[in-house]
Amino acid sequence: MKFARQSILLAATAIPMIRAVKPKNYVFFLPDGYGPASETLARDYSNYVDSATVKLPVDDLAIGYVRTKSWDSLVTDSAAAATSYACGIKTNNGAIGVDPDDIPCGTILEAAKLEGYLTGLVVTSRITHASPAGFATHVPHRDMESEIAEQLVGYSHPLGRVVDIMMGGGKCFFLPKSNKDSCRHDDMDLWSVAEDVYHWTMTSSRADFDDIRDSGAVHIPFAFIPSMGHMAYEVDRDPQLEPSLTEMATTALDILHRKAEQQETGFFLFIEASRIDHGSHAHDPIAHLHDILEFNRAMLAVKRWIGDHEDTALLAAADHECGGLTLGVPDYAWYPYVLTQAEHSAKYYAAVYEDILGFNYSAALKESSIVDRVFGGYGIYNVSLTEMARLAITTSPAVFLGELLSARAGINWSTLGHTAVDVTLFGHGVNTDRFVGNYDNTEVCHFMTDQLGFDLGKATKLLQSDKSFAASIQSKAKSKNFLRRFQLEHEDDILQAHNH
Amino acid sequence: MKFARQSILLAATAIPMIRAVKPKNYVFFLPDGYGPASETLARDYSNYVDSATVKLPVDDLAIGYVRTKSWDSLVTDSAAAATSYACGIKTNNGAIGVDPDDIPCGTILEAAKLEGYLTGLVVTSRITHASPAGFATHVPHRDMESEIAEQLVGYSHPLGRVVDIMMGGGKCFFLPKSNKDSCRHDDMDLWSVAEDVYHWTMTSSRADFDDIRDSGAVHIPFAFIPSMGHMAYEVDRDPQLEPSLTEMATTALDILHRKAEQQETGFFLFIEASRIDHGSHAHDPIAHLHDILEFNRAMLAVKRWIGDHEDTALLAAADHECGGLTLGVPDYAWYPYVLTQAEHSAKYYAAVYEDILGFNYSAALKESSIVDRVFGGYGIYNVSLTEMARLAITTSPAVFLGELLSARAGINWSTLGHTAVDVTLFGHGVNTDRFVGNYDNTEVCHFMTDQLGFDLGKATKLLQSDKSFAASIQSKAKSKNFLRRFQLEHEDDILQAHNH
C-alpha cells in the first residue's frame, strides 16, 4: 500500500508545477477516413516490403481514441466531424460550421485569427471540401462549395479574411462559370477578387511553390492551388505538377512560424490527408494505402519539425473510418505481395480502360490491351473470363478493379460509405500526454482551445451578431433541405460525387 | 520556446522520483474477440437504452493499442495470442505455451508461482480453452484439452501445480470417458485425482460458490467449474446455476488478496470475458453485446477493487477482433431498438427451433410457433416467407438468425473468423500510465513482468530442463501436425468447434 500512496502524493505535487506550460502553436492533422484497420494494413504492407519496419511512424504517436457520432447519425460525414473538431459542438451530417439549427459557430481557426495568430489550411482534396471548410466557413451544406470558396478568401465572411495560408486542390471553384474548367454557379472571378480585393498571392504552379519553399519569401495571405479538382492520389501524383502533402505541410509550418515569430504570436494549422477516405470509398487498396503512407511521412515530418520548435503541439485524428476494411478474409488470407505491383490507382486504370474502349482497335487487340494494361497494370495477372465479362458490364470499373485486387490480397470492404468505429487519436508535443484516453470529437476541440487559451464564444458571438449573414445561412438552409431530400433519393450519386 | 524547455526539465527531474514504485498484484483481463467496433456497438446501444450513458466504463480506461499478429499469420488465434501475452514471444496459431518449434516457454503466471505469488484463472469458456491454457500449460495444439486439464491441476506439469484458483466451464475434461458427459479421450477421473492427489477443493454448484464468496473460508487450491462445456452467454445465464463473470472476478480477487496478505506476497490473476468472441464468430449481436456489457461490469468492479487495494495494477486487451463487425451498413443505418427485444442468444432460439421441428405439431402450428417463438423471441417481428424458407434449408440456424437480426439493426459481419485490426489496450492502477501507446502483444507481457520484477527466463529454463516433458511435447507435436493438416482440409468444421 505504501508504494501506491507515495505515487499519488508525487502526482499531486507535480501537476501544479507544470500547469502553466502552454503551446504557442497548434497543428491539427486529420487523416480523412483513416480507421484502425487501415493502420494495420499499411503497417503490415510496410513490414512486408521492408522486414525491419515493425511499426508505422504514427504508431509511436497513438494516445487514444475519438468517438465520432454526429448530431443526427451514429455514422458521421466529414462535414459534421470537421465542425465538431473546429467548433466543439455536434451538428448534422452535411453541415459546415453551423449548429443543427443552421446557426453559425465560431471555429478554433477563427478564434486563433481573432487573437492575432496566423492560420493555415493544407489539404489534398479541393480546398473547398468539407473538412477544411468546417474550420473556416459557415454554410448549411457541404455541397455549397462556391460559397465556401468565397468565405475562404474573405469575401462574404462576417469576420473578414480568417485564413492566412491555404494549399490544396479545387481551383475550379475560383473560376467564373464562363471558364470551361469552372465549377462555380456564377460568373464571379474569385481568383482575381482574391488577388485584387483581399491581396492574396494566388499560385498554382509547382515552380511557384518551389520558389516560395526555397526562398521563404512569401506575401501573406498566400494560396497554392495546383489542381482544378482534388489533388492527385499520392500513387498517381506527378511530382512535376504537384508537391507531396509532406512538402506542403513543412512549407506551411515554416512560413507560418516565420511570420508568427515576426509578429510575436503563434499559429493554428489544419492539415488533412484528405484522400485516404476516397481510396476506401472506392474500395481501392492501392490509392488508400499510398495516401496512408504519405500521411505517415507527413506526420513524421511534423513530429520532427516540432523537435526543432518545442513550443508546438500536434493532435491528429480521423473524422471517421471508411469502407469497413477487414484484413484476413476469408480464412485469415493475407497476401501483401498482391499490393506491391500496381503503379497507379484503380481510378487511373479505369481511365486507361475507357481510353482502350474508345480506340479503333480490333476486339482481340482491345481484349489483350485490357488484360495487359488495365488488369496487368493494376497487378491482376490471373484475370478470368468471367471477370473480363463483369468488367464490361459494371457501372464502376474503378470499384470493380479495386474489389478484385482486394479479394486477391485478403482484404474485405463491408460498405461504400463510412462506419462508426472509434478512430485513433495521435498526439505529440506540449501537454498532449495529458490527453490520453477515449474522447468525443468535440472534446478534442475543447482541449486544443483550452491549451491555446482561446475563447470560442467570442468568435461565435461575433459571427451571430452579423444578422444579414445569419439570415443568408437560413435562406441557404432551404436549399440545403432540398439537397438533403435530394440526397435521400440519390444517395449513391451524391456519395460518388463526394469521392471525386 | 522557454515554456517547452521548462516542461522537459520538469519531466527529467520528476521521473526518477517515482521510478521505484512497483505493483504488488497484477490483473490481466482479456476480452476475447473484442475489437474497436464492438466497443462502439455496446456504447451506442447503452446510450440508446439510457441516454445519460455516453461512455462505457472501459472507455475511461483506454490507454492505447495492441498489435496482434502471430508467428505464422497476420490474423492470430486465441492460442498464439495467449502465449504471446503469457510468455512474451510470438508463436504459431494453435500453439499453447510453446514456441514455433514446440519448445515450452515460461509464462508470467508460472514466474509468479516461482516467486511464491498466488495465481488465478477466471474465465467463462471452458477452463481448458486456449486463452487460460496459454498462461499455465504447454501443449503443441489448443485442441489437446484433456492434457491441458491435467497440467492445470498439476498432474504432468514440470513445475507441479502452478494455479491456485481456477473458475470457468469445462468440467467434461475432468471426467473419465466412462461418464456420459465426458470429453476426455481416456478413463482418468481427473476430478478425483485433483482432489485426492493435488488437494484441490473442486466445486461446481452455485451454493458452494456463494458459501465461499460470503464466508471467505476456502482451501486453496480451489476450483469452481459449474458447467460441462463453456459457461452460458451472459444473456442466457441462469443465475441459479452460474454466477456472473463480475461475481467470479471479485470473489477471486478477494480470495487471492487474503491469502497473499497472509503469506506476504502478491498475486497474478488472469480474467477472461471469453465468449464475446463466440458471439461474433456466430454473427449473433445479442450474445456478443451482452457479454461485452458484462465485461464492462467486471472491468468496473476490478477498477473499484483496485481503488481499495492501491498496490494492484490492471492491464486489459483482447487477443484479436472477431467477425469484422461494421456498424451503419448500408447507408449509415443504425437501429439499436432492434437489439433490445431478444431475451436470449441466437443459439438459444436455434435450439427452440430444433425442438419445434421435433414436436408432433401440424405444419401450420409448426410455422406459427417458429414465427412467434423463434423469430419473435429473438426480436424479428417482420419475418418474410423467403426468410422462413431460408431457415428451413440453412445448415446453421443460429448464424442465420444472427445475421437476420444484424441486418435489421444496421450491423454487418465481414467474416466468420478473426481479423487483424489492432485491439484496445486498457490500463488502471500502479504505473499503467507509463504504458500509453501502440504495443505488440509480446510487449504487454514484458511490461507486466518488468513491473512485477519477475524473470521469465527462470521459468523457461526450468520447463526446458525437464527432458521427458520436452520429449512428450515433441511427440504430441506430431498429432498437432496431423491436426493442422486436418484443419486446412476442414477449416469450417474446426472453426465451428472452436465456437462452442
Q: Does residue B16 belong to any structural domain of this protein?
A: no
d(CA B152, CA B163): 7
What are the residues whose beta carbons fall under 8 Å from the beta carbon of A363, sequence distance 6 or more?
none
Side-chain-side CA neighbours of B361 within 13 Å: the count stands at 15
What's the pLDDT at A216? 83
Q: Does residue B7 belong to any structural domain of this protein?
A: no
User: Do A318 and A432 reside in the same domain of the chain?
Assistant: yes
* 3 state DSSP class of A301: helix
A451 contacts on B by Cβ (under 8 Å) = none
**What is the widest separation between alpha-carbon atoms in chain B?**
85
What's the pLDDT at B217? 85
What's the pLDDT at A478? 81
Beta strands at A437-440 and A62-67: parallel, antiparallel or unpaired: parallel
- pLDDT tens-digit readout, B33-71: 999 999 999 999 999 999 999 999 999 999 999 999 999
- With an 8 Å Cβ cutoff, are A326 and B415 in contact? yes
Phi first, then psi, for residue A393 (nearest 5°) are -110, -5
| Range in A108-112, A286-290, A313-317, B485-489 with the lowest mean pLDDT | B485-489
Q: In the numeric block, which cell numbers belong to residue A498?
A: 463526394
Count of structural domains within chain A = 2
What's the pLDDT at A482? 57
Which residue from B161, B189, B185 is spatially nearest to B174, judged by alpha carbons?
B189
- B62 to chain A, any CB pair closer than 8 A? The answer is yes
d(CA A490, CA A171): 26
Q: Does residue B6 belong to any structural domain of this protein?
A: no
Q: What's the sign of the alpha-carbon dihedral B124, B128, B129, B132? A: positive
- pLDDT tens-digit readout, B232-256: 999 999 999 999 999 999 999 999 9
> Once rounded to an integer, what is the mean pLDDT over residues A55-84?
98
* A1, A62, A329 ranked by CB distance to B65: nearest: A62
d(CA B259, CA B82): 26
Q: Does residue A10 belong to any structural domain of this protein?
A: no
CA distance B461 to chain A (A): 28
B415 contacts on A by Cβ (under 8 Å) = 326, 328-330, 412
What are the residues whose beta carbons fall under 8 Å from the beta carbon of B183, sequence distance 6 or more?
B145, B146, B170, B172, B173, B175, B228
What's the pLDDT at B21? 87
More confident residue, B253 or A2: B253
User: Do B403 and B435 reside in the same domain of the chain?
Assistant: no
Plot region of A287 (φ>0 → left; ψ -120 to 50 → alpha; else → beta): alpha
**Greatest mean pLDDT range, A15-29, A470-484, B91-105:** B91-105
Please give the ipTM for the structure prediction.
Answer: 0.92
Average pLDDT of chain A? 93
Q: Does residue A167 belong to any structural domain of this protein?
A: yes
- pLDDT tens-digit readout, A350-383: 999 999 999 999 999 999 999 999 999 999 999 9
Which residue from A253, A373, A267 is spatially nearest to A308, judged by alpha carbons?
A253
User: Do B252 and B155 reside in the same domain of the chain?
Assistant: yes
What's the pLDDT at A484? 54
d(CA A360, CA A357): 8
CB A320 within 8 A of CB A78: yes
First to last CA, chain A: 60
Among candidate residues B355, B378, B409, the one where a domain is terminated: B409
> Does the pLDDT of residue A425 top 80, yes or no?
yes
What's the pLDDT at A442? 98
Q: Does residue B11 belong to any structural domain of this protein?
A: no
Count, residues in chain B: 500
- With an 8 Å Cβ cutoff, are B18 and A36 in contact? no
Element (H, E) at A316: strand A312-317
- pLDDT tens-digit readout, A469-488: 999 999 988 876 655 544 44
**Crossing angle of helices A245-263/A206-215, nearest 10°?**
40
Question: A140: cis peptide before it, omega within 30°?
Answer: no
Q: Does residue B420 belong to any structural domain of this protein?
A: yes
Alpha helix stretches (DSSP H) within A65-205: 78-87, 108-114, 130-136, 145-153, 190-196
User: Do B342 and B209 reside in the same domain of the chain?
Assistant: no
| Range in A208-217, B369-378, B462-471, B490-499 with the lowest mean pLDDT | B490-499
User: Do B484 and B381 reside in the same domain of the chain?
Assistant: no
* B5, B332, B433 ranked by CB distance to A75: nearest: B332
Beta strands at A201-203 and A222-224: parallel, antiparallel or unpaired: parallel
* 3 state DSSP class of A453: coil
What's the pLDDT at B481? 62
> Does the pLDDT of residue B484 top 90, yes or no?
no
CA distance A62 to chain B (A): 5
Q: Which residues pair with A238 in a beta bridge?
A: none
> Does the pLDDT of residue B17 top 50, yes or no?
no
**Rounded alpha-carbon distances, angstroms, from residue A413 to A24, A66, A102, B412:** 41, 22, 34, 11
Phi first, then psi, for residue A171 (nearest 5°) are -60, -25
Enumerate residues 63 to 102 of chain B having a beta carbon within 8 A of any beta carbon in chain A: 63-65, 67, 69, 73-75, 93
Beta strands at B25-31 and B312-317: parallel, antiparallel or unpaired: parallel
- A55 to chain B, any CB pair closer than 8 A? The answer is yes
> Does the pLDDT of residue B353 top 50, yes or no?
yes
Question: A221: cis peptide before it, omega within 30°?
Answer: yes
User: Do B110 and B191 reside in the same domain of the chain?
Assistant: yes
Alpha helix stretches (DSSP H) within B274-411: 276-281, 285-308, 346-358, 363-369, 376-378, 385-393, 397-409
User: Do A281 and A347 reside in the same domain of the chain?
Assistant: no
Active site residue B227: no
> Once rounded to an integer, what is the mean pLDDT over residues A65-74?
97
User: Do B104 and B224 reside in the same domain of the chain?
Assistant: yes
Q: Which of B46, B78, B369, B406 is catalytic?
A: B78
> Does the pLDDT of residue A342 top 70, yes or no?
yes
> Once rounded to an integer, what is the mean pLDDT over residues A49-73?
97
* B18, B326, B415 ranked by CB distance to A419: nearest: B326
Q: Which of A78, A274, A369, A406 is catalytic?
A: A78
CB A252 within 8 A of CB A91: no
Q: Does residue B8 belong to any structural domain of this protein?
A: no
Average pLDDT of chain B? 93
User: Do A403 and A421 reside in the same domain of the chain?
Assistant: no
What's the pLDDT at B480? 63
* 3 state DSSP class of A123: strand
User: Do A490 and A392 reside in the same domain of the chain?
Assistant: no
User: Do B70 and B152 reside in the same domain of the chain?
Assistant: yes
- pLDDT tens-digit readout, A121-170: 999 999 999 999 999 999 999 999 999 999 999 999 999 999 999 999 99
Give residue for cell 443526427. A72
- With an 8 Å Cβ cutoff, are B62 and A418 in contact? no
Enumerate residues 287 to 306 of chain A having a beta carbon within 8 A of any beta carbon in chain B: none
Which residue from B265, B297, B213, B258 is spatially nearest to B29, judged by alpha carbons?
B297
* B74, B430, B491 ranked by CB distance to A334: nearest: B74
Cα of B28 vs its chain's centroid, Å? 11
Q: Could you list the residue range(s) of the whole structural domain that residue B289 is in?
A: 22-326+416-498
Q: Which residues pair with B62 in a beta bridge?
A: B426
> Does the pLDDT of residue A119 top 90, yes or no?
yes
Enumerate residues 414 to 453 of chain B having a beta carbon within 8 A of any beta carbon in chain A: 414-422, 424, 429-431, 433, 436-438, 440
A307: how many CB neighbours lie within 10 A of its CB? Answer: 11
Among candidate residues B349, B375, B409, the one where a domain is terminated: B409
> Does the pLDDT of residue B15 top 80, yes or no?
no
Residue A21 pLDDT level (bands cut at 50, 70, 90):
confident
Burial class (CB in 10 A: 0-12, 13-18, 19+), B1: exposed
User: Do A420 and A467 reside in the same domain of the chain?
Assistant: yes
CA distance B37 to chain A (A): 5
CB A318 within 8 A of CB A423: yes
Q: What percent of chain A has pLDDT over 70?
A: 92
What's the pLDDT at B18? 44
What is the 3-state secondary structure of A12-67? HHHHHHHCCCCCCEEEEEEECCCCHHHHHHHHHHHHHHCCCCCCCHHHHHEEEEEE
The CATH number linked to A120 is: 3.40.720.10
Among candidate residues B377, B409, B441, the one where a domain is terminated: B409
Q: In the numeric block, which cell numbers belong to residue A83?
A: 465542425
CB B174 within 8 A of CB B191: yes
